[in-house]
A and B are shown apart, each in its own frame.
Chain A
Amino acid sequence: MRRSWLLSIVCSAVCCLLLDPATAQESAHPVPKAGEFPPPNTGTYLAGELVIIDPVNRRGGLRLDGNEPHDRYHSGPLHYFAMLPYGMLSFNGAPAELRDIPLGTHVHGYFYLPPVGEEATIPPLPKDMERYEIKQNHAVSLEDDFSFYQRRGQSWKVVSIDSKKGKIHVAPAGQMAQDGINTPSTFDIDDLTKVWKGHTLVELTDIAPDQIVQFNLGWSPGWRDREFTVSELWLDDESRKFATDLQRRRHVKYQKQRWLPGWIDSVEDNDYGGGIITLTLFGGMDPSLYAELKATQDKGFGVAVAEKSLRTWFHRSDKKIGQVIEWKESENPPSGSSGIQVRMKFTELLDGYRPGRVVRVKCHDWLFVTMPSEERVKTMEEQQRSTLFRLP
């Protein structure tokens, strides 16, 4: 891991020497643009423990793995981040919200430089901390270990477990993940580790060599040396499916109440009211949600204006309902996109329906719910305040 970190920094430096400064910045570290999803595989990989979160605005801070650079573990700050509007989160193998991921969970993310105009969202570090700053602070994805490795086809084979020493030895199995840990490793384990078999919590003694497992990691006293503790472990497929299904249900309920996010691609105004908008739904949602939307498209969708944090104002009122005139799906959409583009006709349009702006889309059959006050944006002043992450 230490070698890969150094390698990425060296590669970045070499690229910068070969290209003119602006192009180098653009190609090596693309800046996300409104209305465009970033090119594939261009995000910067970072991993760490989720230490603080602002779940309402989808922001947080990670204690990055290891101690580089400059004795960061002991002296450096957290890596503060904001989720891009199309940034996807996963937990236990299912789509999630930041609030679903327990603090202390080790997560993997891909990060970009802040979009133009949003440089101040994550405030700059104090002068004495500037050397720790990693400018890629807008995440396109964030996943726990379970989701991260499972999605890449990598699982873990138990080599041995030593309960007395509190160590478990594992080796990667299946398809190797390019990022993350992909070599035989040893992790801490103790009686606080939740071990799942089927729908039941079992004991450490149920862990046996050759079992294929998934787990989530957490802090360990040897963090600076990239040591981790297994916080939760799933022994079999049934237990993993159960965990995934629980999270999936939670996610589906959450989205039905807050509606599916997307952004406006284009607006065609009428001068007598209304017009046509084209929008793209963000990716990372449970497929059943897209399917339900598609199946009920004849009934029209509600579209509420949202902020980049995906917060809405008073979405049950501040929405307009439009008729779907075209539903298009593309294959292999870029990361962040669902590949679903919808063209809708409205008799009224809202000011927030503008290219690149975020909206949330309601299926006709979902019940209207009033969000609690702290989730809603209520004034323009509050909207302004919400664009900045208040560091602890």
Chain B
Amino acid sequence: MVTDRHALEDVRETWPMTTGGTMFVMRLSLWALLFAVNTEANAADGVAGFDQSVLPFIETHCLRCHNAQKQEGKFRLDTLPREFVVQATAQRWAEVVFRLNSGEMPPTKEPQPKPQELGAVVDWLSTRIQEGEAARMAQRGPVSHYRLSREEYGHTVYDLLGVYFDVNLPGAFNEDPRWHGFDRIGSLLTLSPSHVDRYFRAAETVLERAFPDQEPTSQKTRREASAGQGLVGPVRWPLWPGHGQHLVTASMPGLYRIRIRLSALPSFKGRLPHLALWHHQLKRSIVGLDVDAPEDKPTVIEIETFLPEGQFNVMNESPGMLADGQTPSVSQSPFVNTTDSRSNQPTAYRLFNDAGQSIFPLLIVDWVETEGPILPASDQKKRAGLIPAQADDLKAARESLNRFVTLAWRRPVTDADLNRYIQLIESEVAAGETFRSAYRAAMVAVLSSKNFYYLEEGSPSLRRDTVNDWELASRLSYFLWSSMPDDELYGLAQQGTLHRPEVLRAQLTRMLADPKIGRFTESFPRQWLQLHRVGAFPPDASLFPDYDKWLEQSMVQETTGYFGEVFSKNLQLREFLVSDWTMMNPRLAMHYGLPRPEVSSLQRVLLRPEEHRGGLLTQASILSLTSDGTRHRPVHRGVWVSEAVFGRTPPPPPPNVEPLAPTPSDQPKATIRMQLESHATHATCASCHQKIDPLGFAFDNFDAIGRWRTSEQVPGGQGISPPVNASGQLMDGRSYNGSEEFKQLLAQDTDRFAEAFVEQLATYALRRVMTIDDTAQIKAITVASQKEEYKLRTVIENLILSDLFFKR
């Protein structure tokens, strides 16, 4: 198919761009109206507090130099408006906070405020600025646009056409910007020429795979270890950590079934080998799992997965540096078994310990079968009726295109819409293209349209405060399935009955039971809990040599699996804070120092109090993402708790904060807490740290990768490692000693946590930041959910049936 990009421009909607590349479709008058309302509301709330909390301070310490007569630094404060939703004003107030925080103002020659006074003013202003930020981000015109995140794009094209498009491939799509972990916030998902180009290329790729000129045929290949060596006997492929063998090839992207017969021997300490498919070109593994099979009783592993095109190694991805390029790791002679093939030259890697046990987890492969690409009937069915059966049949083409565009754009299409694409087909045919190619070009144009990759809510000509049924269908399906509505939702939207509570409730029940709900239970906790930060600062290998990629993945799996378990069992939100169970796989069990579970997959395990786990807060993922790769960060942990549990983001630290210095070699070893407590006595730091630090100190018994400890390893300094002090006091005066007591304190205030959780859920569902305008509705959802003891599905149902969910 030859699709002319210039031809597409004719049918592409006009989409004005700002100089920054951000799109707007809003009328200034309406925008101004909305702005005025928001401003008024915010100002009304803020002025009273301003007069009490800030004005006396400013009058005492600022106005003498920043008034009508004198504007030091060309800065006048007495006339600075208090509407924090206005960008320019908020910017000016941010400057004030900056100067106060940095100690630059008041100047040292002037009378200095008390730390408490300073802290109160900075806190008040920061809160207003932050609230203003939320409001500014939430300002919406008559039509709101929410671009699909790349994850949603991938799910949508799969559900639309049965084509697996790997959005994470290099060059596919840019990473989406995040707001506190959420990557689907409409105001952040802007569009640039680069995006348009990538959408176009993605559409071409997807449609070429969906409707290829020649249907691919599935092939089956088998590679055997003993083949080709001229040997008779049980020759096998030993795969030590870091080693792989090129045994799988995907001739084209698609679904493949791979069967591997192997033995999988744990290390002498019980660590299971991690089998992975390693992509040569991408240089990363596509799938991975722990395996356990005795040497004399090999097992057959079957993996069915989507693979990008390319060559794959069957690989042992267990940790262990056994591939420096020059040290031999395997004997030159064919491998038979771990007894007969144990001897190696002394300059090779040490693979067996002095007792003859395998030091590392070892995979021993017999054969590998690859079958694919497989085209499941369910995927083929998705394409039915989207392309005309007969060439040159424009009438049939129009019908097929109508169905395709309706599905792709998630709304009915007009004749005018269709005409543009029919004209495109005609012009392509006139230019010499085949009918099939011309039709596919039209489909590319449909998927390159903003109507596909943007969710639109609202009408340019009619201001609506609620979404219509078509928009509701999309809102619902992107909330729960991260994808387009299915036929049933379309049907109900078409009938205009979806908004009815009984219909909505029935649909909710259906949707929650659909396997696609796994996308929600996977994606929402990742975004809410900011799990993208796990591994963002790779732990220092010299400090944490045991840390490996599989552990990192297992950490995240524990948390998302935990959320999934709470969801599937419809447990209370309280379980997120305290519980006597978690989701565990053997790698995590080893990390936590717990007995190895019987099976190698993720499973629910009961915990004892002395194991110091339970709930989300003491999971390794959370404890790692709030660390920096070398040490735990109590302040980061405190900020995370504040955001995830209380829904409050503390003000950012002032600039030029002195970092914590390493303990001098001639001084006693000091924990980070000791150093922080010394640091926080500074006036500009104390006010915030008093609030944040107690939320983080509770987890001082956990190191930077979430392992339990009773003393803190401190580099440098004199003496023994100091004991951990994990006690503290919350701002309300309640004390705790250790993470368990801290979690219990949080669990005593489930209402507060539930309200914060609803806000996070609504942010995810509505794709925008919640503002003070949403507070009452969030409260109402929380109260409604309280009756059912905040069971997770109840909270979700109450959100979907709430006014907030319908609010445009």
Decide if A and B are genuine partners: yes
Flag whether B241 is at the interface (Cβ < 8 A). yes
In the assembled complex, the Cα of A317 lies from the Cα of B327 at a distance in Å of 8
Using a CB-CB cutoff of 8 Å, which residues 277-320 of chain A contact chain B?
A: 304-305, 313-314, 317-318
A contact residues around B548 at 8 Å (CB): 272
Q: Which single member of B324, B347, B359 contacts A271 (CB below 8 Å)?
A: B359
Using a CB-CB cutoff of 8 Å, which residues 347-364 of chain B contact chain A?
A: 347-351, 353-354, 359-361
In the assembled complex, the Cα of A328 lies from the Cα of B698 at a distance in Å of 40
Q: Is the CB of A355 within 8 A of B354?
A: yes
Q: Is the CB of A354 within 8 A of B354?
A: yes
A to B CB contacts below 8 Å, 27 in the list? A267-B353, A267-B354, A269-B268, A269-B353, A270-B546, A271-B268, A271-B360, A271-B361, A272-B271, A272-B548, A273-B320, A273-B321, A273-B360, A274-B321, A314-B347, A348-B321, A348-B322, A348-B349, A349-B349, A350-B327, A350-B348, A351-B345, A351-B348, A351-B349, A352-B346, A352-B350, A353-B350
Flag whether B267 is at the interface (Cβ < 8 A). yes
Flag whether B545 is at the interface (Cβ < 8 A). yes
Q: A272-B548, A348-B349, A351-B348 are in contact. List 8 more A-B contacts (CB 8 A).
A: A269-B350, A271-B360, A273-B545, A313-B345, A318-B327, A350-B349, A351-B347, A383-B345
In the assembled complex, the Cα of A272 lies from the Cα of B270 at a distance in Å of 11
Q: Report if A347-B321 is in contact (Cβ < 8 Å); known contacts: A270-B545, A271-B359, A317-B326.
A: yes
Q: Is the CB of B351 within 8 A of A273?
A: no
Flag whether A380 is at the interface (Cβ < 8 A). yes
Q: Report if A272-B320 is in contact (Cβ < 8 Å); known contacts: A267-B354, A318-B327.
A: yes
In the assembled complex, the Cα of A90 lies from the Cα of B271 at a distance in Å of 50
A contact residues around B322 at 8 Å (CB): 273, 348
Flag whether B269 is at the interface (Cβ < 8 A). yes
In the assembled complex, the Cα of A273 lies from the Cα of B544 at a distance in Å of 12
Flag whether A357 is at the interface (Cβ < 8 A). yes
Residue on A nearest B551 in the bound complex, by CB: A272
The CB with the most chain B CB atoms within 10 A, among A274, A351, A353, A357, is that of A351
Interface size on B, residues (CB 8 A): 30
B contact residues around A355 at 8 Å (CB): 354
A contact residues around B406 at 8 Å (CB): none
In the assembled complex, the Cα of A271 lies from the Cα of B351 at a distance in Å of 10
A contact residues around B318 at 8 Å (CB): 272
Chain A min CB distance to B59 (Å): 60
Residues of A in contact with B (beta carbons under 8 Å apart) = 267, 269-274, 304-305, 313-314, 317-318, 347-355, 357, 380, 383
A contact residues around B267 at 8 Å (CB): 271
Q: Is the CB of B346 within 8 A of A274?
A: no
Q: Which single member of A271, A318, A353, A380 contacts B271 (CB below 8 Å)?
A: A271
Chain A min CB distance to B398 (Å): 62
A contact residues around B324 at 8 Å (CB): 348
Interface residue SS majority, chain A? loop
B contact residues around A274 at 8 Å (CB): 321, 545
Residue on A nearest B344 in the bound complex, by CB: A351
In the assembled complex, the Cα of A327 lies from the Cα of B546 at a distance in Å of 25
Chain B min CB distance to A346 (Å): 10
B contact residues around A380 at 8 Å (CB): 345
Flag whether B119 is at the interface (Cβ < 8 A). no
Using a CB-CB cutoff of 8 Å, which residues 257-281 of chain B contact chain A?
A: 267-269, 271
Residue on A nearest B270 in the bound complex, by CB: A271
Q: Is the CB of B241 within 8 A of A273?
A: yes
Chain B min CB distance to A41 (Å): 32
Flag whether B728 is at the interface (Cβ < 8 A). no
In the assembled complex, the Cα of A313 lies from the Cα of B347 at a distance in Å of 7
Flag whether B319 is at the interface (Cβ < 8 A). yes
Q: Report if A352-B347 is in contact (Cβ < 8 Å); known contacts: A269-B268, A273-B322, A273-B545.
A: yes
The CB with the most chain A CB atoms within 10 A, among B241, B324, B351, B353, is that of B353
A contact residues around B327 at 8 Å (CB): 318, 348, 350
Residue on A nearest B326 in the bound complex, by CB: A317
- 6 closest A-B pairs by beta carbon, nearest first, are A352-B346, A271-B267, A318-B347, A272-B319, A273-B320, A349-B350
Residue on A nearest B360 in the bound complex, by CB: A271
In the assembled complex, the Cα of A382 lies from the Cα of B178 at a distance in Å of 62
Chain A min CB distance to B715 (Å): 13
A contact residues around B541 at 8 Å (CB): 347
Q: Is the CB of A271 within 8 A of B350?
A: no
Residue on A nearest B346 in the bound complex, by CB: A352
Chain A min CB distance to B318 (Å): 8
A contact residues around B344 at 8 Å (CB): 351
Q: Is the CB of B350 within 8 A of A272?
A: no
Residue on A nearest B266 in the bound complex, by CB: A271
Q: Is the CB of B269 within 8 A of A350?
A: no
Residue on B nearest A356 in the bound complex, by CB: B354
A contact residues around B351 at 8 Å (CB): 351
